[in-house]
Amino acid sequence: MARRLDSGYMQAGAERLVGRLALATGEAKEAERYVHDALGRLAAKDFTIDIPECLDIFAAVAATQESFEEAARLFGAAAAARERLGIVRFPPEPEFWISLEHATREALGLDGYQATFAAGAALGTDEAVAYVCRARGERKRPSMGWDSLTPTELEIVRHTAAGLTNRQIGQRMFISPGTVKTHLSHVFAKLGMPSRSNLAAEATRHRLELDHGGGPVGK
C-alpha cells in the first residue's frame, strides 16, 4: 500500500515493522536489512522522529549477535535522540528491551556499559546514522544461532533437511562422513537442537533452499 501511495514515510514504517517481526523470529540479518532500508528513507527526508526506533532495533540486532559494545552505544544514541525530540520509546514489549539491556550490561560490566552508553548518547543523529552504517560491516559472526553458522555448516544443514544421510552429504561435498558428523555436532550445539528432525523443521521455517543442487544457501 505504501508503494502504491508512493509514501516513503509509510514504507519506512512498514519496513521497521517487518524488521521487528524478523528479529522476533530469530532472523537478525533480515531485520537489519529491512531497518537499514527504513533508516535510509527517514534520513533522506529528515523524518528524524522515527530514527530513534531504528537505532533501538539496530541495538537489538547487535545484542542478539553478541556485538555488545555496538548495542550499548546504539542504546545510548537512541535514548539521547528521544530526549532531544521529547518523545518516549513506544510502550509495547518493555520486558524485551529490559532483557536486552540487562544482557548487554552483563556482557560489558556495569562500568563498561555506562561508558559505552554515554559515548553513544554523545552522538548527534547524523553521527549515529553514520555509525550504524559503519558498524554493519564490522560485526563479527556470533557464537550461537543461525547467523553463527558458517557457509559449510549451512550447506550441510540444507542437505540434512533434504533427507540425505551423512554418507550422501559427504559424497556431494567431497568430505568424509565423519567430517559431516563433526559439522553437524557443531550445528546442533550452536542452534540448541537435539536431532536431525528438529533441524529439518527449523531449516524449513528459516526458508533454507532444500533442493538437491549445489547452489548457495539463503533465507
How many distinct structural domains can be found in the chain? 2
Cα(36)–Cα(134) distance, integer angstroms? 12
CB 57 within 8 A of CB 35: yes
Together in a domain, 15 and 111: yes
Residue 214 is assigned to a structural domain of this protein: no
Q: What's the pLDDT score for residue 127?
A: 94
Together in a domain, 132 and 163: no
Residue 1 is assigned to a structural domain of this protein: no
Cα(117)–Cα(76) distance, integer angstroms? 4
Together in a domain, 160 and 67: no
Together in a domain, 28 and 122: yes
Q: What's the pLDDT score for residue 210?
A: 44
C-alpha cell at 93: 514489549
Together in a domain, 76 and 182: no
Q: Where residue 153 sits, what CATH number does that domain have?
A: 1.10.10.10
Domain of residue 54 covers 8-138
CB 123 within 8 A of CB 131: yes
pTM beyond 0.85: no
Q: How confident is the model at residue 211 (pLDDT cuts 50, 70, 90)?
A: very low
Highest mean pLDDT among 21-25, 56-60, 156-160: 56-60
Residue 108 is assigned to a structural domain of this protein: yes
Q: Length of the chain, please?
A: 219
Cα(130)–Cα(123) distance, integer angstroms? 10
Q: What is the mean pLDDT of the chain?
A: 86
Pick from 98, 114, 138: which residue ends a domain? 138
What is the CA angle 131-67-35, rounded to 5? 55
C-alpha cell at 156: 550441510
Q: What's the pLDDT score for residue 207?
A: 61
Pick from 115, 138, 161: which residue ends a domain? 138
Together in a domain, 29 and 119: yes
Together in a domain, 49 and 97: yes
C-alpha distances in Å from residue 37, one per residue of 10, 51, 148: 12, 12, 23
DSSP line for 2-60: TTTTT-HHHHHHHHHHHHHHHHHTT-HHHHHHHHHHHHHHHHHHT-GGGHHHHHHHHHH
Together in a domain, 160 and 120: no
Percent of the chain predicted with pLDDT > 70: 91
